[in-house]
Chain A
């Protein structure tokens, strides 16, 4: 009997430059031993549900956090996309918006908060500083948080306007709905141990 495929197996490999899209027009029901129509449709519903009720962790670091607050306020209204529930505890959140520059002192904290979030989880790197260090190419700032956590969406700008964050958010929703997996964890296979404030070895 053929091995049952893992439904969470990556359907496409991750691309750094371009967010992949699934091929359209694929037949849903083919009798070849794969999952049938019921399973795929249920997955779609689950993914739709996940993408429509993302709960961000309140993780404001610097300037971009103010724009993130403006995004959740009344004019731009992140609640339209089901993400108004900013959770103070990472244990209740599944989206981390890294809003602002991450210093070397903050890096272990950032990683720990990411590790505390339950799977499945996503990361949006908001702003130039979080994405690549921005104007601060110096001793104190991590040159891109994708060195610590896998980043799903990079939003450029200094700071990005709320519209840009909303666009990045919609792109993330599309990634979730199309089943595109998270990028690989930068620290997973590096052999480096990251020790956070509590002392868990990860």
Chain B
């Protein structure tokens, strides 16, 4: 069987002579096979176009999701008031008075706790002394 390259090199007269040669056997289903090959080529070309398009679409959803997440993070930070607040007082003496008042309040509660725990210490010591006396008596 001659290849395409050989056929392309033939001149017109030789091609006519070959066409007129009735001894050359042409397969019966040649036309069908040629049509089939052309159809397959056309379908594979269509598939490659669709694959390229779907490949591009693959990145759209994750990119959109990332954008939505980033926007939500930004909105969350913004609406939670992540900005620096302003000083309540312009006068440092007033600011100090407010600080001292807050600190005194904390101190009061801490000292209350210390007082309660020292009262508990006294109870523990009393219990311990009582137990020691009971052991001695035994």
Q: Do A and B actually bind?
A: no
B residues in contact (CB < 8 Å) with A: none
